[in-house]
Amino acid sequence: MKRSAFITMIDTTPAGESRTYELIGDGVTDLSISYNPQTKTEQFINQDSADTTVTGYQPNAPVTQQAKKGNPVFEFVNALRKSRAIGEDAETTIVTVDAFEDGVDGAYPAEQQKVSVQIDSFGGPASDPLSIGYTLNYKGDAIPGTFNPKTKEFVAAATE
């Protein structure tokens, strides 16, 4: 399956009354989620090998994006850079969409995730396009649901 079938959308109006999801894509050549597992290792005196248990995760997704004037994702992240946003001012939501799965009426399995946007760098080498580096730091648990890329609408799954 193609990489383009795993879609990441970001809310570029987190302070607004409704969500405005835009595709993180133009100017980005790599976006991979690092799950950063948290583990506990324990070895008793009668054991030759230790036991390691996964106790949690601390996911994030580092991104380097070429600066493209008018691109809503670049404009949003660049505004965070200019204001040196911290705390709640640096938070938004993303939706990761499994468009490689079977969809229903144009909507695919997805997860909505609260994130903090950490600005890492701005600039680059003389021979390269201007770029901005940022990290999407996951906050808490994801909300499962579906996302329609055409309508840009996330619908949370029913809870039991």
Res 37: pLDDT: 98
Supply φ then ψ for residue 131, to 5 degrees. Answer: -140, 160
- Please write the tens of the pLDDT for every residue from 111-156: 999 999 999 999 999 999 999 999 999 999 999 999 999 999 999 9
pTM (two decimals): 0.93
Res 59: pLDDT: 98
Residue in 18, 11, 46 with CA at minimum distance from that of residue 136: 11
Domain 3-37+55-149 has CATH 2.30.110: yes
Boundaries of every domain in the chain: 3-37+55-149
- Please write the tens of the pLDDT for every residue from 37-89: 999 999 999 999 999 999 999 999 999 999 999 999 999 999 999 999 999 99
Res 128: pLDDT: 95
